[in-house]
């Protein structure tokens, strides 16, 4: 009988923090910008420059640690990780090895099981540490030279290191989703895999089911989407099983996943692993997080998803499915809550988010975090519909423009003359014209074909250029017929 294998996975997740300035200097962390324009002597490693810690980085790291049930290291330090590479201007990266800011955490993940139901399990977090990002190497094929852009050098990162507690790609994705949501709720990062503000390295080994010892693991890098992660896990699992089945050994090494070829390449093995010669950075003083500071950060923790879902169920009369989707994005939940606070009916807000918003997000391949329209404008739009100032099909048109350009719907409706005509005399005149012009439909209606009235409503709306309330049109038609 063929052997049964179990996959054992641990993750190292890098998250770029949403600070305005870099971790050790005042340079902007804004994405883009011409090469080497967001730089200074500190983040380009000029002789004589010195790092000064950005306090916000500590606050975000602690907030993430608290959200993942970690113990906070109240006296923590930065260490230098020494290695030579041109993207690293000092040839050492300031990171944390000996006293990382958070330790011993865990998060509960919810995973779809094979039986169609869901199961939950904890994933333990070994540690979270703070560190600086490196610059970017750009190869110029034309000149055959490599250039360095230090704009990203010194952008703050946290690295979240899990224990090897995951057993499948589904669990890995559930864990990443969980982290992403927690961190987005904290506003500590936008956690976009594609843009690299969240990066996951997968440590994977296989062992026979029931075996006590872990197998030899490999580390997989360059995973830029959940799909790539799932494929890489599947691919690496199979590669390792094939090796074992063939009586060969898995080599402990770092591999690079090529998602186009769906194959990974060995980057470096344990044998040529570098000695990073870590030691405490003498340029930085230890970080002391007082009880008071810690409590202050704790008191500012937001309401997370689980609590939010519970509260929505109690407070708003909206379907559980809607709650699930809305709270699945901090940004959506914020829009929802602001609209409700502005007086819009929860059910109506939820409908706009669930139907039109989701449709447009899908159409434009956007994430809910990318939504640009303001809750104030959505609230105004709902008020316009409620007050019958515009009808629902006009509202959808306005919403589309709002979604794209965040226009003020009141102003837009006014400027474009989209208000529903409420002048009964004008409407009666158009309805009479439509009746006169469509004798066949009128006859059908009188002969009991109720549907014929729909055609007449349509004709009236068309003649009114959509600016009528269909219910009023319907009523008037019935009266006149």
Rounded Cα distance between 255 and 230, Å, is: 15
Output Rg (C-alpha) for the chain, integer angstroms: 29
* Binding of another protein by 308 (CB under 8 A): no
Per CB under 8 A, which of residues 136..155 are in contact with another protein? 148
Which CB, 186 or 289, lies closer to another protein? Answer: 289
Which CB, 277 or 372, lies closer to another protein? Answer: 277
Q: Is 392 exposed, middle or buried (0-12, 13-18, 19+ CB in 10 A)?
A: exposed
The bridge status of strand 145-149 relative to strand 156-162 is: unpaired
Binds another protein (CB under 8 A): choice among 279, 416, 426, 478? 279
Which CB, 49 or 438, lies closer to another protein? Answer: 49
* Binding of another protein by 263 (CB under 8 A): no
Cβ 280 to another protein, closest distance in Å?
9
Whether the CA torsion 10, 12, 18, 23 is positive or negative: it is positive
Cβ 254 to another protein, closest distance in Å?
18
Rounded Cα distance between 90 and 37, Å, is: 18
Cβ 74 to another protein, closest distance in Å?
18
Which positions from 2 to 41 touch another protein by CB under 8 A, shown as an x/- string?
---------------------------------------x
- Which residue stretch of 187-195, 261-269, 280-288, 293-301 sits at the interface with another protein (rule: CB under 8 A)? 280-288
Which CB, 20 or 55, lies closer to another protein? Answer: 55
Cβ 15 to another protein, closest distance in Å?
24
For 221, the enclosing helix (H) or strand (E) is strand 218-221
Which CB, 89 or 156, lies closer to another protein? Answer: 89
Which CB, 284 or 354, lies closer to another protein? Answer: 284
Rounded Cα distance between 113 and 345, Å, is: 36
141-170 core/surface letters (b: 16 or more CB in 10 A; e: else):
eeeeeeebbbbbbbbbbbbbbbbbbbebbb
* Contact between residue 102 and residue 64 where contact means Cβ atoms under 8 Å apart: yes
- Which residue stretch of 197-205, 277-285, 410-418, 458-466 sits at the interface with another protein (rule: CB under 8 A)? 277-285
Rounded Cα distance between 434 and 444, Å, is: 14
Cβ 222 to another protein, closest distance in Å?
21
Per CB under 8 A, which of residues 76..95 are in contact with another protein? 80, 82, 84, 86, 89-92
Rounded Cα distance between 111 and 434, Å, is: 58
- Which residue stretch of 165-173, 275-283, 308-316, 440-448 sits at the interface with another protein (rule: CB under 8 A)? 275-283
Cβ 191 to another protein, closest distance in Å?
30
Which CB, 53 or 366, lies closer to another protein? Answer: 53
Q: Among residues 92, 67, 71, 72, which one has the least CA distance to residue 81?
A: 92
Task: Measure Cα distances from 409 to 173, 237, 327, 338, 466 in Å.
Answer: 39, 53, 25, 17, 17
Q: Rounded to 10 degrees, what is the CA torsion of 451, 454, 456, 461?
A: 180
Euclidean distance between the first and final Cα of the chain, in Å? 80
Which CB, 71 or 274, lies closer to another protein? Answer: 274
Cβ 273 to another protein, closest distance in Å?
10
Which positions from 281 to 300 touch another protein by CB under 8 A, shown as an x/- string?
-xxxx---------------
Q: Among residues 309, 330, 283, 51, which one has the least CA distance to residue 183?
A: 330
Cβ 284 to another protein, closest distance in Å?
5
Which positions from 35 to 64 touch another protein by CB under 8 A, shown as an x/- string?
------x--xxxxxxxxxx-----------
Cβ 47 to another protein, closest distance in Å?
4
Which CB, 55 or 248, lies closer to another protein? Answer: 55
Residue 298 is given by DSSP the state: H
CB within 8 A of 237, min separation 6: which ones? 5, 7, 204, 206
Which CB, 89 or 346, lies closer to another protein? Answer: 89
Rounded Cα distance between 331 and 344, Å, is: 17
What residue ranges bind another protein (CB under 8 A)?
41, 44-53, 80, 82, 84, 86, 89-92, 148, 275, 277-279, 282-285
């Amino acid at each position: 009988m063929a052997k049964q294998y179990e996959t054992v996975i641990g993750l190292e997740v890098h998250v770029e923090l949403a600070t305005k300035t870099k971790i050790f200097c005042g340079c902007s962390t804004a994405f883009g910008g011409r090469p080497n324009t967001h730089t200074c002597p500190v983040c380009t490693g000029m002789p004589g420059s010195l790092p000064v810690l950005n306090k916000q980085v500590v606050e975000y790291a602690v907030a993430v640690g608290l959200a993942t049930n970690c113990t906070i290291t109240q006296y923590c330090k930065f260490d230098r990780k020494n290695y030579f590479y041109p993207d690293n201007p000092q040839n050492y990266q300031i990171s944390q090895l000996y006293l990382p800011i958070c330790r011993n955490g865990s998060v509960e993940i919810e995973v779809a099981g094979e039986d169609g139901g869901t199961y939950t399990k904890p994933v333990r977090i070994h540690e979270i540490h703070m560190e600086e990002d490196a610059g970017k190497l750009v190869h110029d094929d034309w000149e055959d030279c490599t250039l360095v852009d230090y704009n990203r050098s010194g952008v703050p990162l946290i690295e979240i290191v899990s224990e090897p507690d995951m057993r499948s790609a589904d669990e890995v994705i559930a864990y990443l989703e969980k982290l992403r949501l927690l961190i987005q709720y904290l506003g500590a990062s936008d956690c976009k895999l594609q843009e690299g503000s969240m990066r996951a390295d997968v440590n994977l080994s296989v062992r026979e089911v029931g075996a006590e010892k872990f197998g030899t693991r490999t580390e997989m890098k360059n995973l830029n989407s959940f799909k790539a992660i799932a494929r890489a896990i599947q691919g690496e699992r199979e590669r390792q099983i094939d090796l074992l089945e063939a009586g060969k050994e898995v080599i402990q090494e770092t591999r690079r996943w090529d998602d186009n070829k769906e194959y990974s390449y060995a980057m470096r093995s344990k044998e040529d692993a570098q000695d990073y010669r870590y030691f405490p950075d003498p340029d930085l003083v230890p970080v002391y997080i007082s009880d008071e500071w810690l409590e202050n950060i704790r008191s500012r923790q937001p309401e997370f998803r689980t609590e939010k879902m519970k509260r929505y169920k109690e407070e708003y009369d909206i379907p559980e499915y809607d709650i699930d989707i809305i709270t699945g994005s901090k940004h959506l939940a914020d829009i929802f809550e602001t609209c409700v606070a502005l007086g819009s009916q929860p059910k109506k807000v939820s409908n706009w988010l669930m139907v039109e918003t989701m449709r447009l997000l899908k159409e434009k391949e956007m994430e809910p975090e990318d939504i640009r329209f303001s809750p104030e404008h959505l609230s105004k739009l709902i008020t316009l519909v409620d007050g019958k100032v515009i009808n629902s099909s006009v509202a959808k048109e306005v919403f589309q423009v709002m979604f794209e350009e965040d226009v003020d719907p009141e102003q837009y409706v006014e400027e474009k003359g989209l208000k529903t005509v409420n002048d009964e005399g004008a409407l009666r005149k158009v309805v009479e014209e439509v009746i006169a012009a469509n004798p066949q439909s009128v006859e059908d209606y009188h002969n009991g074909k109720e549907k014929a009235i729909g055609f007449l409503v349509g004709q009236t709306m068309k003649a009114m250029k959509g600016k009528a309330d269909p219910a009023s049109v319907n009523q008037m038609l019935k009266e006149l017929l």
